């Protein structure tokens, strides 16, 4: 994975709460056996009508949304299924960060593994972002800071290890594999059932 | 000595390397369940990095999500109709053969929904850490295991190292007092809990369900409860193992036997929260006040009683959008709603006792005109048992369809679909928009409520059919 430092982009706002992973990528697209190519199906049932034509009222189909890399979503985005196809689809579409007041556990975890930054902010910052769609923000991973166009900066929490891996383009599997001795010792000592 | 919770005891047993400020804990995984949807990209990672599975003896694969439930496509020599599903099934067969993974394949008589066969085979045991690339892995917590869903990247980690990197979650005690009234089931209880705590109430937490109403539940019922922990936002839900747990497991193929069984039970008996164990969050629910529940919206927290009405939330745009999708209006009585489809199945409610509950309503009755009722057993073993007990005949005589096991209509990826605009009373776990098919309107309920809706053709209190 390429190292991530700063993401600078205009925002797309989807204020709905509890946007579940079935909305992000409906189950019928999960019969794929690869990671790539899911962007076209991102939010498929909100984005396209029954004939497959883009719905003009859906935010991603509006001209202002083109090229945006930061998604601002209502509380608890990513609830539901553990499908990693959700962050894969968001990334394949072009998003690189998701901002909300709450991000569901498995989705947040899957996002970190793929370099999609989950950014949890306070209610006031969130309300401001929801009210001001399309403005350019800066997500700075090095300082774990979200910078708003009015000059404000807010810190966001991110696990220190995940941050280190993302900043340096290190993959966690390499780290786990390097712990083989500790795993051997554990297996020998405990022999868990 | 500090009092510990059940979760803390299981967690501590599996810490390979403790967490620090800079690094998460390395947590050992005792059992890795694998299925066709969330594994192909993980096998690809192993292949591209020249890795093998570290512990084949701790890995068990099956196929359930994209597999058809139509007998002809499994045993009748017909190809799997959905081409992409056929390819995915084939890919799992190839991957398991290449890497030596034990696969309970399409025509294996032990095949079934992954969260149903783990317990059925006795592979799910108290005190184990269990993961699977599926959020309903929380089901296995019913045995006092720490079980949670993971994404495909982590499926690859577990394959290669038998470990995960984890921060210790917080704990959430859900105390259920009293006794469930007649005709009120575990499904109603868990829906009521989610209605109370919200779909994000458990985020960051592992739930422990405790109290007399939980202790009184069968293993099937406990699995229904733990299964839906994720619908409340919690990756895992646990119930302390007890005599009910041990009786269920004894004699199952993967369970220990002989002296090893006695030693295991002695160990498992210590797996309960100590008196005075502290939880980060607690809630108490009185089971005695509950009624049969049904969802009306597009997340499992949007739930009311079967005899209730759709709530009103003036000014809430997301709520209004959800009701518009469902074609429901605030104040509307749920029992006024006609239904077109009834689905009895899924990892939430497709075990033998669920089918018995449904059959007790269908017995001697017919599915209402204009209703399609689909009954899908959770495993091939449950299918055989249901046929032996005459349940399958009851379903067929009533006019319901009786299928091969699989996830089926719980999610629209295997050909079993609800049409746009149709109402489906479903015993599954998610009423998300489009979950059962584009435009499908899902109403989550218990097997008895689903069967009652099938017979009457509208949402119905199943207690009307109580013998």
A192 in B contact zone (CB under 8 Å):
yes
CB contact set of A141 (below 8 Å; sequence gap of 6+): A4, A5, A6, A7, A117, A158, A163, A166, A167
B54: which chain A residues are within 8 Å (Cβ-Cβ)?
A: 183
Predicted confidence (pLDDT) per residue in A28-74, tens digit: 999 999 999 999 999 999 999 999 999 999 999 999 999 999 999 99
Predicted confidence (pLDDT) per residue in A112-144, tens digit: 999 999 999 999 999 999 999 999 999 999 999
Domain contains B153: yes
Predicted pLDDT of residue B392: 98
A35: which chain B residues are within 8 Å (Cβ-Cβ)?
A: 41
Co-location of B415 and B312 in the same domain: yes
Distances (CA, A) of B370 to B358, B373, B420, B456, B465: 19, 10, 16, 11, 21
B139 in A contact zone (CB under 8 Å):
no
- Output the six-digit token pair for B152: 């495909």
Give the 3-state secondary structure of residue B439: coil
Which of B45, B165, B234, B267 to substitute to test the interface with A, most A CBs within 10 Å? B165
Predicted pLDDT of residue A1: 79
Chain B 38-67, CB below 8 Å of chain A: which residues? 38, 40-41, 44-45, 49, 51, 54, 65-66
Domain that holds residue B216: 170-240+259-288
B154 CB-side CA count, 13 A: 31
Supply the mean pLDDT for chain B.
97
- Output the six-digit token pair for A41: 């199906």
Cα distance between residue B309 and residue B384, in whole Å: 39
Among residues B409, B422, B452, which one has the least CA distance to residue B306? Answer: B452
Q: Are B370 and B340 in contact (CB under 8 A)?
A: yes
Q: Which of B14, B204, B411 sits opposite A105 (nearest CB)?
A: B204
Cα distance between residue B435 and residue B437, in whole Å: 6
Report angle CA B426, B226, B164 to the nearest 5 degrees: 120
Domain contains B279: yes
Q: Are B333 and B416 in contact (CB under 8 A)?
A: no
Whether B203 sits inside 8 A of A74 (CB atoms) is: no
Domain contains B27: yes
Q: How many domains does chain B have?
A: 3
Predicted confidence (pLDDT) per residue in B210-235, tens digit: 999 999 999 999 999 999 999 999 99
Whether A173 sits inside 8 A of B149 (CB atoms) is: no
Q: Are A89 and A38 in contact (CB under 8 A)?
A: yes
Q: Which of A33, A109, A183 sits opposite B87 (nearest CB)?
A: A33
Give the 3-state secondary structure of residue A180: helix
Which of A1, A16, A30, A185 to substitute to test the interface with B, most B CBs within 10 Å? A30
A34: which chain B residues are within 8 Å (Cβ-Cβ)?
A: 40-41, 44
Predicted confidence (pLDDT) per residue in B381-391, tens digit: 999 999 999 99
Cα distance between residue A85 and residue A39, in whole Å: 10
What is the distance in angstroms between the Cα of B123 and the nearest Cα belonging to chain A?
10
Domain contains B1: no
Q: Per the confidence metrics, is the pTM higher than 0.95? A: yes
Among residues B165, B102, B386, which one has the least CA distance to residue A172? Answer: B165
Q: Residue B434 sits in a domain of what CATH number?
A: 3.30.499.10
Band (pLDDT 50/70/90 cuts) for residue A193 is: very low
A177: which chain B residues are within 8 Å (Cβ-Cβ)?
A: 51, 160-161
Q: Which of B166, B197, B232 is the last residue of a domain?
A: B166
Domain contains B444: yes
Q: Are B244 and B146 in contact (CB under 8 A)?
A: no
Chain B 260-299, CB below 8 Å of chain A: which residues? 264, 299
If you measure CA to CA, which chain A residue comes closest to B125? A193
A114: which chain B residues are within 8 Å (Cβ-Cβ)?
A: 153
Ranges of residues in chain B with a pLDDT under 70 are 467
Q: Are B235 and B169 in contact (CB under 8 A)?
A: yes
DSSP secondary structure letters along B101-157: -EEE-TT-TT-B-HHHHHHHTT---TT-EEEESSGGGGGGGGGT-EEEE--HHHHHH
CB contact set of B266 (below 8 Å; sequence gap of 6+): none
Domain contains B246: no
What is the distance in angstroms between the Cα of A18 and the nearest Cα belonging to chain B?
8
A20: which chain B residues are within 8 Å (Cβ-Cβ)?
A: 299, 430, 432
B17 in A contact zone (CB under 8 Å):
yes
Check pLDDT > 80 for residue A191.
no
ipTM of the complex: 0.97
Chain A 129-188, CB below 8 Å of chain B: which residues? 159-161, 164, 172-173, 175-177, 179-180, 182-183, 186-187
Co-location of B161 and B174 in the same domain: no
B149 in A contact zone (CB under 8 Å):
yes
Co-location of B180 and B140 in the same domain: no
What is the distance in angstroms between the Cα of B297 and the nearest Cα belonging to chain A?
12
Cα distance between residue A47 and residue A31, in whole Å: 20
Predicted confidence (pLDDT) per residue in B407-440, tens digit: 999 999 999 999 999 999 999 999 999 999 999 9
Co-location of B193 and B230 in the same domain: yes
Whether B233 sits inside 8 A of A75 (CB atoms) is: no
Co-location of B221 and B298 in the same domain: no
Co-location of B201 and B284 in the same domain: yes
Chain B 324-353, CB below 8 Å of chain A: which residues? none
Distances (CA, A) of B419 to B146, B302, B434, B438, B442: 37, 22, 10, 7, 11
B416 in A contact zone (CB under 8 Å):
no
Whether B22 sits inside 8 A of A161 (CB atoms) is: yes
Co-location of B272 and B346 in the same domain: no
Predicted pLDDT of residue B242: 98
Q: Which top CATH class is A6-190?
A: alpha beta
Predicted pLDDT of residue B71: 96
Give the 3-state secondary structure of residue A97: strand
Whether A183 sits inside 8 A of B162 (CB atoms) is: yes
Q: Which of B151, B199, B318 sits opposite A84 (nearest CB)?
A: B151
Contacts A–B by Cβ distance under 8 A: 182
Q: What is the DSSP letter of B227?
A: H
Stated length of chain A? 193
Q: Residue B187 sits in a domain of what CATH number?
A: 3.40.1060.10
Whether A17 sits inside 8 A of B318 (CB atoms) is: yes
Q: Are B251 and B140 in contact (CB under 8 A)?
A: no
Helical pair B40-49 and B152-161, crossing angle rounded to 10 deg: 50
Q: Which of B288, B307, B326 is the last residue of a domain?
A: B288
Co-location of B357 and B440 in the same domain: yes
């Amino acid at each position: 994975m390429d190292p991530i430092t700063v993401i600078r982009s205009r925002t797309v706002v989807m204020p709905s709460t509890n946007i579940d992973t079935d909305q992000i990528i409906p189950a019928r697209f999960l019969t794929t056996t690869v990671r790539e190519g899911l962007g076209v199906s991102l939010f498929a049932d909100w984005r396209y009508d029954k004939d497959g034509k883009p719905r003009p009222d859906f935010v991603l189909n509006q001209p202002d949304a083109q090229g945006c890399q930061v998604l601002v979503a209502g509380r608890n985005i990513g609830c539901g299924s553990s499908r990693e196809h959700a962050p894969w689809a968001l990334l394949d579409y072009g998003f690189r960060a998701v901002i909300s007041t709450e991000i569901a556990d498995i989705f947040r975890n899957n996002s970190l593994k793929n370099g999609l930054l989950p950014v949890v902010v306070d209610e006031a910052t969130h309300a401001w972002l929801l009210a001001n769609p399309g403005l350019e923000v800066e997500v700075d991973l090095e300082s774990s800071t979200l910078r708003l166009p009015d000059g404000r900066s807010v810190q966001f929490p991110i696990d220190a290890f995940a941050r280190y891996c993302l900043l340096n383009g290190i993959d966690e599997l390499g780290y786990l594999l390097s712990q083989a001795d500790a795993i051997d010792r554990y297996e020998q000592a405990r022999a868990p059932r | 000595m500090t009092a510990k919770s059940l979760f803390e005891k299981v967690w501590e047993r599996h810490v390979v390397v403790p967490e620090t400020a800079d690094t998460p804990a390395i947590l050992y995984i005792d059992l890795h369940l694998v299925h066709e949807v969330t594994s192909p990209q993980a096998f690809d990672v192993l292949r591209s990095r020249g890795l093998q599975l570290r512990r084949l003896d701790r890995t068990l694969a099956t196929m359930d999500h994209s597999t058809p439930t139509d007998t002809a496509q499994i045993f009748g020599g017909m190809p799997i109709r959905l081409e992409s599903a056929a390819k995915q099934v084939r890919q799992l067969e190839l991957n398991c053969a290449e890497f030596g993974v034990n696969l309970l394949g399409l025509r294996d008589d032990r095949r079934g929904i992954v969260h149903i066969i783990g317990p059925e085979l006795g592979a799910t045991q108290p005190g184990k850490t269990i993961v699977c690339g599926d959020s309903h892995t929380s089901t296995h917590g019913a045995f006092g295991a720490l079980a949670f869903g993971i994404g495909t990247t982590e499926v690859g980690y577990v394959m290669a190292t038998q470990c995960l990197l984890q921060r210790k979650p917080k704990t959430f005690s859900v105390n259920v007092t009293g006794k469930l009234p007649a005709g009120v089931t575990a499904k109603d209880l868990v829906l009521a809990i989610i209605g109370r705590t919200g779909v994000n109430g458990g985020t960051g937490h592992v739930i422990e369900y405790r109290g007399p109403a939980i202790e009184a539940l069968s293993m099937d019922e406990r699995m229904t409860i733990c299964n839906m922990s994720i619908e409340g936002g919690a990756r895992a839900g646990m119930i302390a193992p007890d005599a009910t747990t041990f009786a269920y497991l004894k004699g199952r193929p993967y369970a220990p036997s002989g002296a090893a069984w006695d030693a295991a039970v002695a160990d498992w008996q210590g797996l309960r929260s100590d008196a005075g164990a502290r939880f980060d969050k607690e809630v108490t629910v009185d089971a005695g006040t509950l009624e049969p529940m049904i969802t009306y919206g597009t997340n499992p927290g949007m739930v009311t009683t079967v005899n209730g009405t759709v709530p009103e939330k003036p000014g809430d745009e997301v709520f209004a959008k959800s009701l518009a999708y469902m074609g429901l209006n605030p104040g509307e009585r749920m029992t006024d709603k006609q239904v077109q489809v009834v689905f009895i199945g899924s990892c939430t409610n497709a075990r033998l006792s669920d089918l018995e509950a449904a059959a007790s309503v269908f017995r001697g009755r017919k599915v209402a005109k204009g209703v399609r009722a689909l009954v899908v057993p959770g495993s091939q073993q449950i299918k055989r048992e249901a046929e032996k007990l005459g349940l399958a005949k009851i379903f067929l005589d009533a006019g319901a369809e009786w299928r091969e096991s699989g996830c089926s209509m719980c999610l629209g990826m295997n050909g079993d679909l609800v049409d746009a605009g149709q109402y489906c009373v479903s015993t599954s776990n998610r009423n998300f928009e489009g979950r059962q098919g584009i435009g499908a309107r899902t109403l989550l309920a218990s097997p008895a409520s689903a069967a009652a809706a099938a017979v009457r053709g509208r949402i119905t209190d199943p207690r009307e059919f109580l013998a």
